[in-house]
Amino acid sequence: MKKIHLLLIKAFIRPFIATFFVMMFILLMFFLFKWIDDLIGKGFEWYTILELMYYASAANVSMALPLSVLLSSIMTFGTLGENYELVAIKSAGISLQRAMRPLLVVILMLTIASFLFSNYMLPKANLKFGSLLYDIRNKKLSFLIKPGVFNNAIPGYAIRVDSKDEDGMLHGIMIYDHKDNNGIPKVILAKEGKMEKTADGKSLILRLKNGVQYEEQAKNNGMYNPRQVFSRRRFKETAPEFDMSSFDGNTTDPNAFGNSTPMLNLKGLVKKRDSLKRQLDTLQINTIASFTGNFKQFNTTKGYTKYKTAPKKIDDVILKDIPNGSRKQSLENATNVVAGIMQHVPNWAPRQNDLTGEWIFTKVEYQRKFTLAASCILLFFIGAPLGAIIRKGGMGLPVVMAISFFLVYHIITTVAEKTAREGNLNPIFGMWIAVIVLSPLAAFLTYKATVDSALFDVNAYKVFFAKFFKKKEK
């Protein structure tokens, strides 16, 4: 390896590592800010929160890695241009393309590593994150209680609160007890209350204040009884106890979430996509058979008779061609057919939409495995010539330029992905549209950097406009 190659690689690796970890830290802070109200101060162990952040950081690589490549490449070549090292390299007869070759090898290695990461490591991290988050939600009831939403985490009970304070005090409590009384719920209403665990941790006590309890006695023989017993009891304080056996310390098996699309590798995505396609085809065949069966005459012998009759022309008003004595029966039959179709459509359409949406999502996730790797190469060919053109190093202008170009890439990718998942754009084209749009820009910047263009030189534009206005004055 030549000394100049080693110099360029060292100049690139240092800012790359620094920017990558800075971006990962910033993205982790965004994650922590999102979940801080539900995690901090809720009784979770510190290592549980760290484990959750560790698995969540894997998903941030898809955003941190391309941005780090773009920023570090701009900083590397910008610093070389600012210190006139790039001029010395070119004066030695080494073109910009040759100077970029060692870094291109590094980027290709990062590209292969990012593909392997997104195909093997990221699905496992998503699997661990999903199972751990499920355990947290189901083992800490206060984590699940949201104002205005019924909570069914405790078997046999449904709990709803109007609001909750930071100290755990609940207001406007409503409890449906389905555990006993043959399915007839016992309703408890209270103005306020607070949750506490017993010393052994096996039970949960909800201390309620200023409420009322409604209870209806179960029917003995299943028949309606006008003298059915209904009781109402008011209380100032009560403390119902809930069994916490379902909140034991056993962790959820991660394989229970293994069929979720973000948790599959390429092989799993292909298998799931083919399975969804077969389900869609089966559903479509059954639906078409069900619909067409409603429009066939039940006494037809088409294909089994030697008699041939000319087709009968039917006017726009079909009732005119039906005898008077049969019109009422025909209308009733048509009404029954339409009613049967209307009963079938509400069951078929949601299932069709769900399967189609999941099938599109598998195609999107399949392409995402490759777009992460391709984005590293694309942004390198944008950042390296851009740094050579602006000739500024450090954390000033290069950061502004890097964030600007990355926002363009990210916005195009996000909008196209959302459009593709809605079924309005081909998933393959939607996931690659950002690469397709920005590739000509990368080629243009590489050409401008090769010919030493003053594309971002403010003085060059000042001279140009000064000459332009002088010509207009003449």
Q: Name the residue type at position 30.
A: F
- 114, 222: one domain: no
Instruction: Please give the Cα distance from 447 to 385 (Å, whole number).
Output: 8
- 32, 125: one domain: yes
Which 3 state secondary structure label does DSSP give 214? Answer: strand
**What's the pLDDT at 253?**
47
- 43, 128: one domain: yes
- 129, 164: one domain: no
- 134, 159: one domain: no
Q: Scanning the structure block, which residue is given the tokens 């092989």?
A: 267
Q: List the domain range (segments joined by +) for residue 105.
A: 3-138+363-473
The candidate with the shortest Cα–Cα distance to 103, out of 7, 28, 190, 191, is 7
- 72, 189: one domain: no
- 222, 192: one domain: yes
Total domain count for the chain? 2
Residue 176 exposed, middle or buried by CB count within 10 Å (0-12, 13-18, 19+):
middle
**What's the pLDDT at 455?**
61
High-pLDDT (> 90) share of the chain, %: 2
**What's the pLDDT at 161?**
87
**What's the pLDDT at 436?**
92
Instruction: Please give the Cα distance from 139 to 45 (Å, whole number).
Output: 12
Model confidence, pTM: 0.63
Query: Which stretch of DSSP H or E encloses residue 38?
Result: helix 3-39
**What's the pLDDT at 177?**
80
Judged by phi (left if over 0) then psi (alpha if -120 to 50, else beta), residue 207 lies in beta
- 97, 197: one domain: no
Decide if 355 is inside a domain.
Answer: no
Largest distance between two CA atoms of the chain: 108
Residue 65 burial (CB count, 10 A): 25
The residue from 222, 243, 264 where one domain ends is 243
Decide if 194 is inside a domain.
Answer: yes
Decide if 36 is inside a domain.
Answer: yes
Decide if 211 is inside a domain.
Answer: yes
Stretches where the chain sits below pLDDT 70 are 1, 36-44, 135-145, 153, 166-168, 180-184, 199-202, 217-229, 244-259, 293-309, 311-321, 343-347, 393-395, 452-465, 468-474
